[in-house]
Structure 1
Amino acid sequence: MPTDPDAPVIVAARRTPIGTAGRSLAGYTAADLAAAVLADLTAGARPGSPTCEVVLGNCMGPGGDVARVAALQAGLPVTLPALTVDRQCASGLAAVVLGAAVLRGEEGTVLAGGVESASTAPWRSWAPQGDGPATRYERAPFAPAHIGDPDMGPAAELIAAERGITRAQQDEYAARSHARAMATQRAGGFVGEIVPLGGVDVDERPRDGLSVARLARLRPAFDPEGAVTAGNSCGINDGAAVVTMVDAATHHRRGGRGLRVLATATAGVDPNRPGLGIVPAATLALDRARLRLDEVDVVEFNEAFAGQVLACCADLRLDPERVCPQGGALALGHPWGASGAVLVVRLFSQLARGRRGRYGLAAIAAGGGQGVAMVVEACG
Structure 2
Amino acid sequence: MAANNDPVIIAARRTPIGTRGRALAHLRVEELAAPVIRAALNDAEVTHGAPINVADVILGNCMGPGGNPGRVSALAAGLGHEVPGATVDRQCGSGLAALLDAAAAIRAGDPRMRIAGGVESASTAPVRSINGKGYDKAPFAPAGFIDPEMTRAAEDLAVHDQLSRSRQDEHAARSHARARAALTAGRFTAELVPLGGLEHDDAIGGAERLLTRLPPLFPGGTLTAGTATRIGDGAAALVLAGPGSGPGLGLRASAVTGCDPALPGIGAAGAIQAALDSAGLEMKEIAAFEIVEAFAAQSLAVLDRLGLKDDDPRLSADGGALALGHPWGASGAIAVVRLFSRLVRSGAPAGTFGVAAASIGGGMGIAVVVEVVR
Q: Deviations over 1:11-36 (max 9, x none)?
A: 00000000011101011011110111
Distance 1:91 1:36 in 2: 19
Task: Compute the displacement of 1:334 (Å).
Answer: 0.3
Q: Which amino acid aligns with 2:212?
A: A
Matched, 1:277 2:267: yes
User: What does residue 162 of structure 2 align with?
Assistant: 164
User: What does residue 174 of structure 1 align with?
Assistant: 172
User: What does residue 373 of structure 2 align with?
Assistant: 379
Distance 1:367 1:320 in 2: 23
Q: Is the 8 A contact 1:179 1:327 kept in 2?
A: yes
Distance 1:257 1:96 in 2: 18
User: What does residue 117 of structure 1 align with?
Assistant: 121
Distance 2:10 2:43 in 1: 11
TM-score (norm 2): 0.95
User: What does residue 63 of structure 1 align with?
Assistant: 66
User: What does residue 22 of structure 1 align with?
Assistant: 21
Following TM superposition, where does structure 1 have runs of at least 4 consecutive aligned residues deviating by more than 4 angstroms? none
Matched, 1:224 2:214: no
Distance 1:16 1:231 in 2: 23
Distance 1:107 1:3 in 2: 16
Task: Compute the displacement of 1:162 (Å).
Answer: 1.0
Distance 1:99 1:126 in 2: 34
Secondary structure, aligned partner of 1:70:
helix
User: What does residue 130 of structure 1 align with?
Assistant: none
Identity %: 49
Distance 1:5 1:318 in 2: 31
1:84 maps to which of 87, 105, 110: 87
Q: What does 1:250-269 correspond to in 2, within 5 Å?
A: 251=245, 256-269=246-259
Moved more, 167-176 or 195-204: 195-204
TM-score (norm 1): 0.94
Q: Is the 8 A contact 2:3 2:252 kept in 1?
A: yes
User: What does residue 192 of structure 1 align with?
Assistant: 190
Q: Is the 8 A contact 2:348 2:372 kept in 1?
A: no
Q: Deviations over 1:46-79 (max 9, x none)?
A: 2265311110000000011011001001101211
Unmatched 5+ residue regions in structure 2? none
Distance 1:294 1:335 in 2: 30
Matched, 1:126 2:121: no
Unmatched 5+ residue regions in structure 1? 128-133
Task: Compute the displacement of 1:99 (Å).
Answer: 1.0
Q: Is the 8 A contact 1:49 1:108 kept in 2?
A: no
Q: What does 1:286-365 correspond to in 2, within 5 Å?
A: 286-322=276-312, 323-356=315-348, 358-365=352-359
Q: Is the 8 A contact 1:179 1:208 kept in 2?
A: no
Q: Deviations over 1:100-133 (max 9, x none)?
A: 1111121110100000001101111111xxxxxx
Q: Is the 8 A contact 1:266 1:371 kept in 2?
A: yes
Distance 1:194 1:44 in 2: 12
Task: Compute the displacement of 1:234 (Å).
Answer: 0.4
Distance 2:11 2:222 in 1: 39
Distance 2:92 2:113 in 1: 25
Task: Compute the displacement of 1:198 (Å).
Answer: 2.4
Distance 2:373 2:149 in 1: 40
Cα 1:265–1:113 change in 2 (3 A) is same
Cα 1:37–1:48 change in 2 (3 A) is closer
Q: Which amino acid aligns with 2:192?
A: I
Q: Deviations over 1:233-277 (max 9, x none)?
A: 10110000110010014x1xxxx4200100010001111111111
Distance 1:93 1:343 in 2: 9
Secondary structure, aligned partner of 1:181:
helix
Distance 2:366 2:207 in 1: 32
User: What does residue 31 of structure 1 align with?
Assistant: 30
User: What does residue 368 of structure 1 align with?
Assistant: 362
Q: Is the 8 A contact 2:119 2:330 kept in 1?
A: yes
Task: Compute the displacement of 1:356 (Å).
Answer: 4.5
Moved more, 349-358 or 302-311: 349-358
Q: Which amino acid aligns with 1:328?
A: G
Distance 1:81 1:294 in 2: 40
Q: Is the 8 A contact 1:182 1:208 kept in 2?
A: no
Task: Compute the displacement of 1:209 (Å).
Answer: 8.5
Distance 1:102 1:298 in 2: 26
